[in-house]
Structure 1
Amino acid sequence: MKSFNFWIIALLFAVTSCTIDKTDYEAETGSEVPESYEFKEAASFINGNYKITIDALNGIFYKGYNELHLKIVNTQNNQELTSSAVTFLPILSNADGSKSSCPHEYNLAYDLTNKYYIGYSVFTGESSTTASWKLYISFTADNQKYEINKDISVAQQPNKNLNMTAFAGNDGEQYVIALISPQKPTVSENPLVAGVYKYNKPTTPAGTFPDPTQFSYTEVVGYTLKLDPRMPEPSMGNHSSPNNKDLTQGNDGLYHGVVNYTMTGNWTLNLIMMNQNGLIVKGTVVPTDHTPGVEGVKSELYIDTLF
């Protein structure tokens, strides 16, 4: 089972990161950048006397990074459950029966200030006729454990500033990088935030499905994402910009840097991911020559954006 899960995830990542299509820059020109800053109910379900609701930006689960707010309410007395051990596990099932997960917060902590359990999920693919997502959630109440599974739909992310990439590193590990902000950049130096995650290869045989040890991810610690943003379309000659800052990990576990967009349009965030020892895990140096009329060369590791 351990080998089965690993190769399924490796295949998913290979398909996600290695499919290359020629960019239709003209079709994207003038595209309006959507923004979502309001959390709305994206899913709800009942188990016994308890109602569970999950809020996400715009009330939709998107491919990429999703901050999630979960509430549990006793429908008999309308009291919220605030001190439960809550677990959250997303599972992707494919038409061939294979199953995998994605970066997620498994043990959800209760936010006393905002009054909800907070977590995240970086959905690595959209729902389709051949791929479906299900949430497995558990909590305890009245000395009883409740277990729930719920089918959900994951939509395409319409905002390219929130793109993600999944890939195999030179170290043989499976990684995910997901952009978190800015949602709508400006022509200026923009704080850039991303989540960087690694799949934890199982070290023990699988237990009862869904065994969380087979679907575990962790935040990557102490890496650096070297950043070289470029405008890759032929008319822009793959030019870059000054005053960018590489992404390093902050106290919140996320990676923070600065990207300087000198004009609106299509930009590629060329990346080189380096581990704590300065070794390159993924990525290549981008040529520095200005080449008008030629589509820009991209790093082995990159994420496209548009604003």
Structure 2
Amino acid sequence: MKFFNFLVIAIFALTSCTLDKTDYEAETGLEIPELSEFKEAVSFTTGNYKVSIEALNGTFYKGYNELHLKVLNTQTNQTITPSAVTFLPVMTNSVDFHTSCPHQYNLEYNTVAKYHSGYSVFTSESNASNNWELYLSFTVDNQKYEVNKEISIEKQSNKNLNMTAFTGKDGEEYFIALTAPQKPKVAENALVAGIYKYNKPTTIVGTFPDPSQFSYSEVTGYTLKLDPRMPEPSMGNHSSPNNKDLTQQNDGFYHGVVNYTMTGNWTLNLILMNQNGLILKGTVVPSDFTPGVEGVKSELYIDTLF
């Protein structure tokens, strides 16, 4: 009888991962391409200068966005190299409350590619209640130029580039944004994420938009523990071997390994620990195999789908 019961459980587990498996390719409707081309997402003119900001696919998405900024002298039609280039995104909601998102305020000049580079982790999409605006400044020939323009933040359709925001046990506001892989494979994948925190202001509010009130920074020396699972009832919340926790590398991003053993819905269950090993957010996920029952998720997680 014991052998019979074991056999039934084994057969149920096998069929749950095959016959009853959701057709996720049909669910998504189309294959999400891996974006690699930077195109102009927004431009504006001030004085004799046109400022152009490029992003992947020419679109600002919710989540992590790498940005390239170029300045053109409209009189000579020549690209110039301004100094002291600053970048500040500000969101205003329906009750006129202002907030921002993780971003690089002082953009850096890439001497090889000939543009200023930075990033922004937009935390919400543009809609009737959330209006995003960019505030930029740069200096040419000792003259400072300032400009602002409304922008549109689109939904991130690639769930492999999802993000999450939360308050840690230390009372700080944190943000985790996935940056890779854009297009995972059924294999061990390099998993990359940016982890940021809001720098609480220590000064009185100055003239709007005061950058000291909208300051963010990369967290340093943290650990992001990883436990990927397939939470669908038909998948039994099973995991995979050879995953590696995310630790910070020289580029400032956190790198690890996620092993996707099949396509479908995956949940990246996470535990964020600071330099001292203090858990700021996240819980251990039960290791039980639960066919027919939706899997338990960590207190901190990001869903993916490929």
TM-score normalised by L of structure 2? 0.91
Equivalent residue, structure 2, for 1:244: 243
Using the alignment, how far apart are the partners of 2:50 and 2:24 within structure 1? 42
1:33 Cα deviation (Å)? 2.6
CA gap of 1:96–1:27, structure 2 versus 1, over 3 A, is farther
Residues 141-163 of structure 1: per-residue CA shift (max 9 Å, x gap): 12110000010000000000000
Equivalent residue, structure 2, for 1:35: 34
| 1:121 to 2:138 alignment | no
Residues 83-106 of structure 1: per-residue CA shift (max 9 Å, x gap): 411000000000100000000000
Aligned partner letter, 1:276: Q
Equivalent residue, structure 2, for 1:137: 136
Q: For the Cα contact (< 8 Å) 1:34–1:158, is it kept in 2?
A: no
Residues 68-107 of structure 1: pairs in structure 2 closer than 5 A = 68-107=67-106
Residues 136-285 of structure 1: pairs in structure 2 closer than 5 A = 136-285=135-284
Using the alignment, how far apart are the partners of 2:218 and 2:277 within structure 1? 18
Equivalent residue, structure 1, for 2:12: none
1:26 Cα deviation (Å)? 5.2
Using the alignment, how far apart are the partners of 1:197 and 1:85 within structure 2? 23
- Secondary structure of 1:128's counterpart equals coil
Equivalent residue, structure 1, for 2:5: none
Aligned partner letter, 2:180: S
Equivalent residue, structure 1, for 2:59: 60
Aligned partner letter, 2:46: N
1:79 Cα deviation (Å)? 2.4
Aligned partner letter, 1:112: T
Using the alignment, how far apart are the partners of 2:22 and 2:48 within structure 1? 54
- Secondary structure of 1:284's counterpart equals coil
- Secondary structure of 2:184's counterpart equals coil
Residues 189-235 of structure 1: per-residue CA shift (max 9 Å, x gap): 00010000000000010110000000000000000000000000000
Using the alignment, how far apart are the partners of 2:239 and 2:32 within structure 1? 22
- Secondary structure of 2:268's counterpart equals strand
Equivalent residue, structure 2, for 1:12: none
Identity of aligned residues (%): 73
Q: For the Cα contact (< 8 Å) 1:35–1:159, is it kept in 2?
A: no
Using the alignment, how far apart are the partners of 1:188 and 1:27 within structure 2? 19
Using the alignment, how far apart are the partners of 1:26 and 1:130 within structure 2? 35
Where does the alignment leave 5 or more consecutive residues of structure 2 unmatched?
1-20
Equivalent residue, structure 2, for 1:112: 111
| Count of aligned residue pairs for this structure pair | 283
TM-score normalised by L of structure 1? 0.90
Q: For the Cα contact (< 8 Å) 1:162–1:180, is it kept in 2?
A: yes
Where does the alignment leave 5 or more consecutive residues of structure 1 unmatched?
1-24
